C-alpha cells in the first residue's frame, strides 16, 4: 500500500511520521533538533527502520521546515535551509540529503506553509483555498495558500516581521527582534512577552496587562494580512495561543480595527469561524508535510 | 479584426479605449465621473460609435474600477460596485450593465488589479508572475498578481488601510482616514499630505520635512507587502509619486527597514528594479482593463 513520510523540522525538535492521513498514521517519532548531521541521521534511521516492512511502500517524503528556505526550483540551492541564524544549519540541503539517503522524492516547504497545507487538508481550513496560518510561539511566522497553492513568490512570506503600530503609551518595551526591534515578532512573540515582563506568558495571570497588548498587536497583524492578502480564513496557532481566551479578544479587536471597512459576511457576522484555532492542534506542521508529500506525488 | 474594449472607472474620471495593445489603440476617450447613469451612458455611446465600423470586431470589454467590488462569480451581485462611500455608486452593476448594453462579455476587476495586469502585460512587470502595484494618490490602493493571476480571496486586497508605525515624534498628525485615522492611507495619501501641511504635495518644496515622513510610511508599507506576499517586484504609481525623488529614498529606507532579513538578490543588489515606477505611466489601469478583456476572452 502506498504510504508517505512527513518531517517537521522545528527549532527545538523534529517530528517524523509515516502514514496517509491523520486517521492512518503507521508510525511516528520526535527527536531533539541538534546539529544537522546528527538530527538528519535520526530521521533517516526512523524511515529506514520501516522501509523493508511489507505493508509500507514509501512513495515520497514531505518536509515542513524552519527557514528561510530556497524554494526556487531553478536554483542550485533549491530545498536548502539558507541564511538561518540557527547555528550549524546555514546552507543545509535538507530535501536533497533525505531524498538521496532514502532514494525517494522529497518535497519541502516552510513550517508555516506546511501548517496551512495540513489545516487545508484535514483541519480548520478544509476546502478554503485562500487561507492563512499564523503561528505565535517563540517566534512568529505565517504561511498562506492562494487558490489552493502555497504562497512562495520571491522567497516565501516572513509575516512575523511586519511593522505594526507600537502602543508607546502602555508599552515602553523597545522590542525583542534582533533585526527590527519592535516588528510584530519583536512585540508579540513568546520571546517578547518574556523579555517585557520577566516571566513566560504561561506564568502570567489572565488579568495581566500583557494580554491586552498581545491582543492589540496580533489583531493588527491579522488586519494587515486581511487587507494585503484578503484570505477567506485565518488560523492562529502556536504556544502563546495556549491562552485560548486570546481568540475571542482578537476577534473583537480585529472587527474594531477594520471598522466595517471590509464588508464581508465572514468578518461582519462570521468572525468566530474567520479567525480559528488550528483543527490539528500542534500537529498542523507535520501533517502538512504529509499533505505536501501526497499532493506533490499525485501531481507527478 | 478582433478588438477589445477597456474602461477604467476612477473617482473623478472614466477612461475608455478600443484596441489590442498600447501600440494598437484605435480610439480612446475620457469623461468626468458623475452619477452612474450619466457616466455609463457616455461609455456606452463611445463604444456604440465604433461598433458598426467595418474594421472593429469588439469581442469583449474589460473594466478596472474603483471599489469595493463583488468579484465572487457565485454571488448574485457579481460585478457590482458595492459599499463605496462615493455618492450614488453603491450597488452599481457596472459589468452587467455594460455587457447588456453592448451585447458582449464584460469582465471586471479592481483599478489596482487592472494596473498590475497592465504592467504585467506591457509595463515594468513584464513576465513577473508575483507582482504588486501600489498607487499613492488621493487614496492609496494595492493590487497583486500571484502566479500570474489577480489576487481576490475573500473580496480583494485593500492595502491602503494597513497599519504601520506612526512616527509620533516627528508627526503629531492624527491621520486623515475616516475609518481608521492613522492607517497607511490616513498617513501617506495625497489627502493626508494636504491635511497635515495645509498644502498639496505638489506645492511643497523638495527639502520639506513632508517627504521624509512620506518615505518612512511608504517604505513600511512596502516592507509589509514584501513580508506578507513575497512579491518579485513592487511597482508604485499615483499622483504623489510625481515627486520622482521619492523612489530612490523609498528604496534606501526599505533596505534599512528589512535590515538584511529577506536575503534575496533582488532586494540586496537589485532594489532599483525591485521597486519600480510604472512602465505605462498613468495608463496602467486602462491598459490593464484591456489586458483583462484579452486574457479572459482567450480563456473562454
Evaluated on CA atoms B286, B290, B296, B300, the torsion sign reads positive
Q: Does A223 touch chain B (CB under 8 A)?
A: yes
Residue that the C-alpha cell 523612489 belongs to: B247
Most B CBs within 10 A among A163, A180, A254, A257, hence the mutation to make, goes to A163
Residue that the C-alpha cell 515520497 belongs to: A60
Q: Within the 83-102 window of chain A, which residues sit less than 8 Å (CB to CB) from chain B?
A: 83
Given this model, what pLDDT does residue A211 score? 98
**Per the CB < 8 Å rule, is A159 touching B227?**
yes
For residue A47, the distance in angstroms to the closest alpha carbon of chain B comes to 33
- The CB density around residue A32, as the number of other CB atoms within 10 Å, is 11
For residue range B100-140, list pLDDT tens digits in order. 999 999 999 999 999 999 999 999 999 999 999 999 999 99
What topology is assigned to A124-277 in CATH? Answer: Nucleotidyltransferase; domain 5 (3.30.420)
Sheet holding A140-146, edge to edge: A149-150, A140-146, A131-136, A233-237, A275-276
**Per the CB < 8 Å rule, is A157 touching B228?**
yes
User: Which positions ≥6 away from A94 have C-beta within 8 Å?
Assistant: A9, A36, A40, A63, A65, A79, A80, A81, A106, A108
Rounded CA-CA distance B247/B252 in Å is 9
Rounded CA-CA distance A4/A115 in Å is 17
- Partner residue opposite B147 with nearest CB, options A149, A223, A227: A149
- The CB density around residue B51, as the number of other CB atoms within 10 Å, is 14
Cell of residue A33, nine digits? 533538533
**Per the CB < 8 Å rule, is B223 touching A162?**
yes
Torsions phi, psi for B147 (to 5 deg):
50, 35
- Partner residue opposite A224 with nearest CB, options B154, B224, B231: B224
Cell of residue B15, nine digits? 477612461
For residue B155, the distance in angstroms to the closest alpha carbon of chain A comes to 6
Q: Which residues sit opposite B62 in a β-bridge?
A: B6, B107
User: Which positions ≥6 away from B52 have C-beta within 8 Å?
Assistant: none
Is residue B73 over pLDDT 80? Answer: yes
Chain A partners of B155 at a C-beta cutoff of 8 Å?
230, 262-264
For residue range A5-22, list pLDDT tens digits in order. 999 999 899 999 999 999
Q: Which tops the pLDDT comparison, B182 or B72?
A: B182
How far does CA B99 lie from the centroid of its chain? 23
**Per the CB < 8 Å rule, is B153 touching A162?**
no
- The secondary structure of chain A as a DSSP string is -EEEEEEEE-SSEEEEEEEEETTEEEEEEEEE---HHHHHHHHHHHHHHHHT-TT-EEEEEEEEE-S-B---TTSTTTT-B-S-SSTT-TTB-HHHHHHHHHTS-EEEEEHHHHHHHHHHHHSTTTT-SSEEEEEESSSEEEEEEETTEE--TTS---GGG------TTT------BTTTBSSHHHHHSHHHHHHHHSS-GGGS-TTSHHHHHHHHHHHHHHHHHHHHH--SEEEEESGGGGSTHHHHHHHHHHHHHHTT-S--HHHHTTHHHHEE--TTGGGHHHHHHHHHHHHHHHT-
Residue that the C-alpha cell 450597488 belongs to: B91
Q: Within the 49-88 window of chain A, which residues sit less than 8 Å (CB to CB) from chain B?
A: 68, 82-83
Residue percentage of chain B with pLDDT more than 70: 100
- Partner residue opposite A155 with nearest CB, options B159, B168, B230: B230
Sheet holding B24-32, edge to edge: B24-32, B13-21, B2-9, B57-65, B106-110
Q: Which tops the pLDDT comparison, A53 or B297?
A: B297
Q: Does A215 touch chain B (CB under 8 A)?
A: no
Nearest residue of chain B to residue A181 (CA atoms): B257
> pLDDT grade, residue B176 (50/70/90)?
very high
**Per the CB < 8 Å rule, is A165 touching B180?**
no
Given this model, what pLDDT does residue A146 score? 98
Chain A partners of B157 at a C-beta cutoff of 8 Å?
227-230
**Per the CB < 8 Å rule, is A227 touching B260?**
no
For residue A78, the distance in angstroms to the closest alpha carbon of chain B comes to 14
Region class of A293: left (phi > 0), else alpha (psi between -120 and 50), else beta = alpha
Torsions phi, psi for B120 (to 5 deg):
-70, -40
Average pLDDT over residues B85-112: 95
Q: Does A260 touch chain B (CB under 8 A)?
A: yes
Given this model, what pLDDT does residue B300 score? 64
Strands A233-237 and A275-276: parallel
Chain B partners of A180 at a C-beta cutoff of 8 Å?
257, 259, 261
Rounded CA-CA distance B129/B284 in Å is 16
Q: Do B180 and B137 form a contact (C-beta atoms < 8 A)? A: no
Closest CA to B42 of B97, B83, B103, B117: B97
CA distances from A277 to A240, B190, B205 (A): 12, 40, 51
| pTM reported for the whole predicted model | 0.96
Q: Does domain A2-110 have CATH number 3.40.50.300?
A: no
Most B CBs within 10 A among A84, A161, A254, hence the mutation to make, goes to A161
Q: Does A262 touch chain B (CB under 8 A)?
A: yes
**Per the CB < 8 Å rule, is A230 touching B142?**
no
Most B CBs within 10 A among A83, A229, A269, hence the mutation to make, goes to A229
For residue B178, the distance in angstroms to the closest alpha carbon of chain A comes to 10
Nearest residue of chain A to residue B165 (CA atoms): A165
- The CB density around residue A263, as the number of other CB atoms within 10 Å, is 14
For residue range B223-247, list pLDDT tens digits in order. 999 999 999 999 999 999 999 999 9
- Partner residue opposite B152 with nearest CB, options A152, A161, A230: A230
Given this model, what pLDDT does residue B11 score? 86
For residue B283, the distance in angstroms to the closest alpha carbon of chain A comes to 23
Q: Does B156 touch chain A (CB under 8 A)?
A: yes
Given this model, what pLDDT does residue A124 score? 98
Strands B131-136 and B57-65: unpaired
List, by residue range, all CATH 3.30.420.40 domains of chain A: 2-110, 124-277
Q: Does B179 touch chain A (CB under 8 A)?
A: yes
**Per the CB < 8 Å rule, is A262 touching B158?**
yes
Q: Do B24 and B6 form a contact (C-beta atoms < 8 A)? A: no
Q: Do A45 and A29 form a contact (C-beta atoms < 8 A)? A: no
Flag residues of chain A having pLDDT under 50.
Answer: none
Amino acid at each position: 500500500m502506498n504510504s508517505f513520510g512527513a518531517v517537521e523540522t522545528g527549532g527545538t525538535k523534529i517530528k517524523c511520521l509515516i502514514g496517509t492521513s491523520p486517521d492512518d498514521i503507521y508510525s511516528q517519532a520526535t527527536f531533539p533538533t541538534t546539529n544537522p548531521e546528527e538530527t538528519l541521521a535520526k530521521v533517516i534511521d526512523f524511515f529506514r527502520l520501516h522501509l523493508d516492512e511489507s505493508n509500507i511502500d514509501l512513495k515520497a517524503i514531505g518536509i515542513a521546515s524552519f527557514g528561510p528556505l530556497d524554494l526556487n526550483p531553478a536554483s542550485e540551492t533549491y530545498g536548502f535551509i539558507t541564511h538561518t541564524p540557527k547555528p550549524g544549519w546555514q546552507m543545509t540541503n535538507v530535501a536533497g540529503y533525505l531524498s538521496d539517503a532514502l532514494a525517494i522524492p522529497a518535497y519541502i516547504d516552510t513550517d508555516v506553509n506546511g501548517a496551512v497545507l495540513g489545516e487545508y487538508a484535514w483541519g480548520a481550513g478544509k476546502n478554503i483555498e485562500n487561507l492563512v496560518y499564523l503561528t505565535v510561539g517563540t517566534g512568529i511566522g505565517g504561511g498562506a495558500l492562494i487558490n489552493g497553492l502555497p504562497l512562495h513568490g520571491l522567497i516565501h512570506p516572513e509575516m512575523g516581521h511586519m511593522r505594526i503600530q507600537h502602543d508607546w503609551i502602555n508599552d515602553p518595551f523597545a522590542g525583542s527582534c534582533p533585526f527590527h526591534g519592535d516588528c510584530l515578532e519583536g512585540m508579540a512573540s513568546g520571546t517578547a512577552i518574556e523579555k517585557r515582563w520577566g516571566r513566560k506568558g504561561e506564568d502570567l495571570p489572565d488579568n495581566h496587562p500583557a494580554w491586552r497588548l498581545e491582543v492589540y498587536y496580533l489583531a493588527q497583524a491579522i488586519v494587515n494580512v486581511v487587507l494585503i492578502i484578503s484570505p477567506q480564513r485565518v488560523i492562529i496557532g502556536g504556544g502563546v495561543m495556549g491562552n485560548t481566551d486570546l481568540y475571542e479578544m482578537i476577534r473583537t479587536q480585529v472587527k474594531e480595527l477594520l471598522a466595517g471597512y471590509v464588508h464581508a459576511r465572514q468578518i461582519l457576522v462570521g468572525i468566530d469561524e474567520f479567525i480559528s484555532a488550528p483543527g490539528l492542534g500542534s500537529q498542523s506542521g507535520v501533517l502538512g508535510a504529509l499533505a505536501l508529500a501526497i499532493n506533490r506525488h499525485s501531481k507527478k
